[in-house]
Chain A
């Protein structure tokens, strides 16, 4: 079955700097890759996703890149703000009807 790894497990950055979180997946058939943000005491919320026919996707300060050959995908947050502090989860799934497998999460702290 699919296995998703995520690095780093914790990340601290100064406000205004960029943050990068990297994930790898094992199942080459996976072709849907969502990213979720989870704030303390709340459920995860989708922030951006990418499908395998796209190499990069941007939404304001957030971007995701996908390398299907290497089975890597990454989340990039630019001009970080304190409200970006949260746990971020990457995930992978197939386009056929299937469950989504989550990575273990990255705890991001943005220091004012």
Chain B
């Protein structure tokens, strides 16, 4: 079946502009996660959703970052007034989200963001 998809695959923007990154999770997955991966580094947790609510926003690096999810499906990560240090690959993952269990996260291919 279809996996997690993300768009765009690449985004180049100028410093100070706003960007929106989109994630389409696997159908039926209620949990959705966003991570940031800087070049040559590990995955940095940003936020996760259970359904349309975000119980853990602890990883968002600043108030320029926000995310929303609608219809327990698509999620968008918005970065306002982008800075050069925002350049990274932004990865989305989804999982079944069964309460009381930790279940496998399936990752999308990522969006490579470059802020000039």
- Given known pairs A43-B110, A46-B104, A46-B106, the reply for A97 and B50 (CB within 8 Å) is yes
Docked-complex contact B41 and A104, CB < 8 angstroms: yes
Select which of A49, A94, A99, A102 is within 8 A of B104 by beta carbon.
A49
B91 within 8 Å of A (CB atoms): yes
Residue pair A42, B42 in contact (C-beta under 8 Å): no
Q: Is there an interface contact between B99 and A97, defined as CB atoms closer than 8 Å?
A: yes
The interface size bin for chain A is: 20 to 34
Instruction: Name the prevailing secondary structure of the B interface residues.
Output: loop
Residues of chain A in range 34-64 having any CB-CB distance to chain B below 8 Å: 34, 36, 41-46, 49
Across the interface, name the chain A residue whose C-beta is closest to B106.
Answer: A46
**List of A residues within 8 angstroms of B48 by Cβ:** 99
**Residues of chain B within 8 A of A100, CB atoms compared:** 33, 45, 102, 105
Q: Give the B-binding residues of A (Cβ under 8 A).
A: 32, 34, 36, 41-46, 49, 89, 93-105
Instruction: List, sorted by A's number, 12 A–B pairs whose CB atoms are closer than 8 Å.
Output: A34-B105, A36-B107, A43-B91, A44-B107, A49-B104, A94-B102, A95-B102, A97-B102, A99-B33, A99-B59, A100-B105, A104-B41
